[in-house]
Structure 1
Amino acid sequence: MPNTAYIYVPTLASDQLDTGLDQGRWGWRASALERGGALQAAQKLEPGDYLIFGHRGPNSRVKPGGWSDATLQRVVVTSVTSALFTEHTPIWHDDTYPERIGLRIIADLGELSGPDLGSQAMESLRLSANKRGVPVLTSGSEVIGHLAVGISARPVEPADSTGWAEPGDDAPSHLLQRLLLRRETSTLRKRMLGASTGTCAFCGRTLPSQLLCVTHVTPLHSLSTEAQADLANFTVACSLGCDQLFRRGYVTVDAEGIVTATSRSRETPDVHQAVGAISGRLVAGFDARSAPFFAHHRDINAA
């Protein structure tokens, strides 16, 4: 079972946090790890363990439990990619921090409060703040599950076409990633549709927003984490038929942006008629950025 370490980063260290996340490294001065078992905690971190960074919280000089309702301006969930090692290559502008671990970002959650993270996590971050940002280690990955449950409980627009039935790992970190993408797609839906009506990119009909879906062009499980967040991988399709015809591969979009029927479209006369109504149309918003995603969709649904 993976462990979870909590690391608090003070307000004045925003640049150091950004640099470490960009470089896939976090480090400490050797002197910082010499106290209170901090070195032993850092040495126990192994690839696959979780690191939770808390940034810009309130005064940590309070009684135990005093952060239970506090708010952190930024929380970043990462995974350990390499155990503790010593490296003197310059990364940060203010110091070397040679005692390092490798990491990768799972989710940058922004502002969160105590109830979002749970009392154990908040207390561990408070302790880290009082110990110069050393890791405070706990057994298990309870906070990841806690976050996933909290995010899944938040309201999401019912008509967004997020594809959560797609195959994938149900480990807590993957569940958290998928739920975050679901929340981001809901936000994107509001940005793309906004008004009470909108237009389907495939059939061109103007419809109430409740009948329109923000649809992934290429399924998320086929993409890297970085590509999943690319806005060019989203289009608007109506729930009167275009969304399902596209997502299920009855139609694809060719290199010029034209809706094209596939062999699947002849499964029944009625399907063939529905596909014929949109075949030959130019997909609204098709451009050089979205073209590779539509090409991937074509490859997946090649006859």
Structure 2
Amino acid sequence: MIHVMRIVMQPARRSEKDVDQHYQDTIVTPVVFDDHADILEASTIDQLKQLFPDGQAQMWGIVPGKGNINLSRIKKMHTGDWVFFSGDKRIYFGGTIALMWRNKELATRLWGTDHAGSTWEYMYALSGTRGFDIPVEEIRTLLDWNPRRNIMGISVLSEGESDTLQTLLTLDAATAVLEPVDTAQEEAAVASFDGELERTAQRAQRGEQAALKRRLLKGATGECALCGRDLPGTFLIAAHIKKRAMCTDDEKRDLANIAMLACTLGCDAVYEHGYVTVAAKGAIQVSSLVRGVPEVATYIREKLASRIVTWWSPSREPYYQWHRTHTFKDAPPV
């Protein structure tokens, strides 16, 4: 059976002293596996070292809860799922579940126990983590939640809600996940799909893209806003600075500011996937997480490092600011 990536909402208010201490102890400072070989099962250490060859990983855990209330929710969690850490009305951190296991002794060593004597024994290791700065209010609006709804306990979002957030926030799947791929099942799923392959909305968006490009491209060639290369129009697209699907109608119609020319030779992809962003005043900012993708790091170093984006302006800054807080692969907050 093919597992569809879900998004897990993990409440973790860092304004609470104990929560912040746990975050410092096992997120800011990853857990070294060999330091706990005396209480980690050999099979778990083997899996962790396969996933994390440097011998350490960021970890978190969940308490069973009163009357084991959390167990039904934990059973819905799987490797490959994304976890959003929320607290103080913001989403501030996230990553992919690389491995899950249960170890009460290790959890007690790492985090102690709560006021009820329970510990966070349902543990998971995270890979591909990054920082965010997204108001929970924005998540409520995006997913059409009740305006008063809060993230009170560990919860797994529906497939539809997860897909919406994954697409609109560009949540790339992490490579460090022990999840065998059943190619035959994937091909069968594609073959059996009988949904509409071409939608009117997609055609309308292509028309909008063409109109934007005509506005930005004044001749047969144009300059990529990111790398500055002068290229034939065939290799340039009108790239939305803020993801189009997250724009209001007024923002979509702000043709003078909402988009920039980006080349298909690499710049559009590294911006779209958050490996670079544009800081206030136009300096290109490079994600520290690019170290994990050497080929992408080489492209950025050769084409984009130390560049100033002349396309930046005060009127475009709100769109670039959105990209920095939602799409850019920022380092996890310390």
TM-score range, shorter chain: 0.3 to 0.5
Give the number of the structure with larger relative contact order, counting CA–CA contacts within 8 Å between residues 6 or more apart. Answer: 2
Structure possessing the higher radius of gyration over alpha carbons:
1
Normalising by structure 1, we get a TM-score of: 0.45
